[in-house]
Amino acid sequence: MTESFRRSGEYPQGQQHAQSSYPGTPEAGGAFPPPPAYDPPQPVNAAPGSAMWPAPTPEGSPAPPARRRRVRGPLGLLAAVAIAAAAVGGGTAYAFQELTGKQSTSASAGTSVVPTSQKGTVSGVAAAVSPAIVEINATSNAGSSTGSGVVITSDGEIVTNNHVVSGASTVKVRTSDGKTYTAEVVGTDAKKDLALIKLKNASGLKTASLGDSDNVKVGDEVVAIGSPEGLTGTVTSGIVSALDRDVTVSTDEEQQQQQGGDGRWPFEFGGQQFNGDTGSSKTTYKAIQTDASLNPGNSGGALIDMNGNIIGINSAMYSASSDSGSGSSGAGSVGLGFAIPVNTVKADLDSLRSGGTSGS
């Protein structure tokens, strides 16, 4: 029950007597006692003027400093964690994720998904991101092909290259824990060599953090994760060796099925054709160049910065014999790989979710 404030002189006789009999009060002819060495506790429910309420400050004396109320409970804990995380810059989102258990499908530049103790290490990036990278096996009339993909939602949306699933009649996906799912193609964009597939009956999947490719610089260390030659979860590392490379790929679905069966996708770079004929219907995009080893099967996999953020989707590789047209799968990487910038992926997601474009 809320107590009303009593005016001076309205207190009960017994309480007034108790106040006047205190030694040193003006009523007893003495001076005020010296202030205590610490602020006395102030009961929350005490009525003003009661014996539990601190005496009013005499006129002319400075008012005591206001006591700051301490926030308790879960809100106080969250606030403390947020303040501490803000002090270390990019760790804010990671601290919140660790506290709440929630995962984000995209992140701003500087956010780290790698634990602080392993930040900046290839092993730390691999441990944090590998669970979000999958192997894709697509079957079409032209045969079967193997590629990789990046999980972007916990219920199974996966970004990959268009040429990995182009014309596929069936698509199977294997996650890092060995589980196999059937997937359907949601949308494709041949002009950007991107596709979105969706797993059936999937939930609780580990998702990747999409970074900001506009902040990528030549010389930045990177990690590539994919399934070269069907070797699921293979990790390689290197640097960004160039930016804005013009890579040309075919947009002809029939051409894709004929040339892409062995995982060596035909493309043009520097006026030359590699891995076969790109055909007459083609498109050019700006790519991130990397010397991280990429091999057949890496297509659609992730190029990752040292904070664990996806900065590109690996799409093409050059090998010493890839211009011979022999189709030999023995040709490996010589340190010239290309990835579609992740900002291109993010800008295309809404279109892919609605079915994408034909690319014609």
> Is 299 one of the catalytic residues?
yes
Which SS3 state, helix, strand or coil, does residue 347 take? helix
Q: Are the beta carbons of 176 and 234 closer than 8 angstroms?
A: no
- Of the residues 213, 299, 319, 322, only one is catalytic, namely 299
180-189 vs 194-199, strand pairing mode:
antiparallel
Which SS3 state, helix, strand or coil, does residue 19 take? helix
Can you list the positions of beta strands (E) in the chain?
A: 133-140, 143-151, 157-160, 170-174, 180-189, 194-199, 209-210, 221-226, 234-250, 267-269, 272-274, 282-290, 302-305, 309-318, 336-341
- Of the residues 189, 193, 212, 252, only one is catalytic, namely 193
Beta bridge mates, 150? 133, 159
- Of the residues 163, 252, 291, 319, only one is catalytic, namely 163
What type of residue is 181? Y
Q: Are the beta carbons of 222 and 237 closer than 8 angstroms?
A: yes
What type of residue is 308? G
Full 3-state SS string of 281-344: CEEEEEEEEECCCCCCCCCCCEEEECCCEEEEEEEEEECCCCCCCCCCCCCCCCCEEEEEEHHH
How many helices (H) and strands (E) the chain has is answered by: 7, 15
> Is 17 one of the catalytic residues?
no
Q: Could you list the active site residues?
A: 163, 193, 299
